[in-house]
Amino acid sequence: MSEKRNYCVRCGEAIGSKKVDGINREYCSTCDIVFYYNPLPVVSSVVVNKNREVLLVLRDREPQRARWCLPSGFVEIDESIEEAVLRELHEETGLTGKVVRLLDTVSYRNEFYGDLIWITFEVQRIDGEVVAGDDARDARYWPITGSLDLAFPPNVKAIKRYRDYYQGLWKVQDSFKRLDKERKPDPSVPSDALSEIITRDAHILTENWIADVMQNPTTTSYARFDHDDIYPHAYKVFSQFGQWLLNPTEAMSTAWDYYLGVGRKRREEGFKLSEVLSALSLTRKHILTHVLARGGVWSRQYAMYSVMEFIWRVNLFFDKAAYNITLGYEEAGEK
């Protein structure tokens, strides 16, 4: 708490006390004024770059001198909190920014300053190069996903809220980046969870596809085969497709050979290439329809990103499958 006032700043008379709202407060009976002590407002900014690193400054004064924290400072008189956070960011790091959203507000008691109201904003960098200001020894970016030993607990809480808010989006972005890389399935990645549905429901997908391909006007040649003749081959495709989709490297070494063989065999059996490609297109249709209807994806955060990425993977796979079927079909005709 601030030091007790002894004299009124208006009239100079000695200050007494008066109970107001159940609390004994400083009171000038001459001016009939109650003096209130209020928490001081402090602002901080969370600025994160494209590498998911958060901007921190190394303090050059007490309290918590020589410790890292978010760019922070007190709000001045006649200044909005948004103006304050951008001013402090520029003074301590040299950057100009734009307020994105309110990230966190928390009460915090500091032995040095007393009761504080700590307000943190997410701020987007607009311009400038990172240079430590007068109140800081250093300013630099640190990995936001790492363990950060910061000077003030409100900073730690705000960064955690930022991470929690963007965690879902980061997973989607990471899965996009790894589309053509071999990796282990991660159920927490939305598109991986969707891919696992294909393996789980392979029997359903197979039955639906057979019913479609045997009566579809674009695939009439398939109608001359019995259900039991088609089923094992179709089930193999659906049951393995989920794993192929999750492991593109494995797909290149196994799936593409399989589809080359499909093209050759269908040519030898007298199928038109258009029918074979139409049957492949029906496979894609049933996968997308089934998974997007049963995956529960629309209830998830960033659902649209998950669906877009899943469709991207499916289309990428089937485009390559169609190429290999055509290649195998042509090779069989050259013999």
**CA-only gyration radius of the chain, Å:** 32
pLDDT of 159-212, one tens digit each? 999 998 888 777 766 665 554 454 455 555 555 666 778 878 889 999 999 999
Cβ-contact 145, 52 below 8 angstroms: yes
Q: Looking at per-residue confidence, does 12 or 1 come out higher?
A: 12
CATH topology of domain 40-167: Nucleoside Triphosphate Pyrophosphohydrolase (3.90.79)
Lowest-confidence pick of 38-42, 160-164, 168-172, 295-299: 295-299
Q: Looking at per-residue confidence, does 25 or 171 come out higher?
A: 25
pTM of the model: 0.55
CATH topology of domain 190-334: Globin-like (1.10.490)
Lowest-confidence pick of 51-55, 103-107, 201-205, 212-216: 201-205
Secondary structure of the chain in HEC code, one letter for each residue: CCCCCCECCCCCCECEEEEECCEEEEEECCCCEEECCCCEEEEEEECECCCCEEEEEEECCCCCCCCEECCEEECCCCCCHHHHHHHHHHHHHCCEEEEEEEEEEEEEEECCCEEEEEEEEEEEEEECCCCCCCCEEEEEEEECCCCCCECCHHHHHHHHHHHHHHHHHHHHHHHHHCCCCCCCCCCCCHHHHHHHHHHHCHHHHHHHHHHHHCCCCCCHHHHHCCHHHHHHHHHHHHHHHHHHHHCHHHHHHHHHHHHHHHHHHHHHCCCCHHHHHHHHHHHHHHHHHHHHHHCCHHHCCCHHHHHHHHHHHHHHHHHHHHHHHHHHHHHHHHC
Give the start-to-end residue ranges of the domains of the chain. 1-37, 40-167, 190-334
pLDDT of 302-332, one tens digit each? 566 667 777 887 888 889 899 999 999 999 8
pLDDT of 222-281, one tens digit each? 998 899 889 998 988 888 777 676 665 555 567 788 899 999 999 999 999 999 999 999
pLDDT of 123-172, one tens digit each? 999 999 999 987 788 999 999 987 888 999 999 999 999 998 888 777 76
What mean pLDDT is predicted for residues 274-298?
84
Q: Band of the pLDDT at 82, cuts 50, 70, 90?
A: very high
Q: Looking at per-residue confidence, does 136 or 283 come out higher?
A: 283
What is the predicted pLDDT for the residue at 72?
A: 95
What is the predicted pLDDT for the residue at 173?
A: 66
Q: Looking at per-residue confidence, does 96 or 21 come out higher?
A: 96
Token pair for 173:
């972005």
Lowest-confidence pick of 2-11, 104-113, 171-180, 246-255: 171-180
What is the predicted pLDDT for the residue at 130?
A: 94
What is the predicted pLDDT for the residue at 1?
A: 45
| Residue 261 CB neighbours (<10 A) | 14
What is the predicted pLDDT for the residue at 246?
A: 66
Distance CA 52, CA 193 (A): 24
Taking Cα atoms as reference points, which of 95, 147, 144 lies closest to residue 123? 95
